[in-house]
Amino acid sequence: MIADNTIKQVNYPAGDPRHQPVLRQLVGSWVASGCAFGRWKREHPQYAERLSREAARWALLFAAGPKGKPLPVLSNHPLPDEGRRRINVGEFIGYQAFAAFLLCAAPRYDVGRCDRCGAFFWNRWGHANKRWCSRKCTIIGSASERQARRISKQRREKNARIKRAIAALIMEKPATVDWKEWVTSRARVTRSYLTRALHRGEQGKPDGLRLTKRQVEHLRRLSKGR
């Protein structure tokens, strides 16, 4: 129940009165640290320090359980009225919920964050490659990645043809006024694609067209008409 409630609270939209922004921030930091407590403490010392202070309010009590068995009960000491006026109630509630999550749910399940919609989900079976929160996001996310890989492959093939065309331009030295028109015709690409590919290469983006210094200098001279 605590596991499900935690996920529900961090997935509620910001305008929902049930939304817990502090808890969402804490669970997000937990996911970013790989759901590993030692790493989480190192990467978020300010959260760990506050969590320790809040955990000090908790006490282990015992009550009579079913069939007379002892039932351990965790209880947090209520704040006095003066203390309530001095604290941020939202932060207090968020850290208390996060402490309950670490005690009851985190030792059993890891939490993930959907690569497509950003929602948190329980990785109940501990799959290292689980990246989506639902079947819908799995289908859409997989299709988007296949399309991205196909586009990336097409760009690499076009860039390879452009590089060969530029190498031929330098070697053959054709009598041409517009080197871009010559290269695009030889490489079978559009002029707009060549411009975008060169721009991506200058910015160091993936699938950008990266030229050697010699090629850049040669093309610059052609652009100047020399």
Q: By the 8 A CB rule, do 40 and 29 touch?
A: yes
Q: pLDDT-derived band of residue 86, with 50, 70 and 90 as boundaries?
A: low
Q: What 3-state class would DSSP assign to 82?
A: helix
CA atoms within 13 A on the CB side of 45: 1
Which residues are CB-contacts of 219 (< 8 A; sequence separation ≥ 6)? Answer: 166, 179, 211
pTM of the model: 0.64
Q: What percent of the chain has pLDDT over 90?
A: 38
What is the average pLDDT across 173-199?
89
Q: What is the mean pLDDT of the chain?
A: 86
47 against 87, higher pLDDT: 47
Kindly report, residue by residue over 9-34, the tens digit of the pLDDT. Answer: 999 988 888 889 999 999 999 999 99
CA–CA distance, 194 with 182 (Å, rounded to integer): 11
Q: Domain boundaries in the chain?
A: 2-133, 154-223
Report how far apart the first and last C-alpha atoms of the chain are (Å, whole number). 75
CB atoms within 10 A of CB 15: 6
Q: By the 8 A CB rule, do 109 and 123 touch?
A: yes
Looking at residue 2, its pLDDT comes to: 78
Q: What 3-state class would DSSP assign to 43?
A: helix
Residue 49 confidence (pLDDT) above 90: yes
Q: By the 8 A CB rule, do 208 and 202 touch?
A: yes
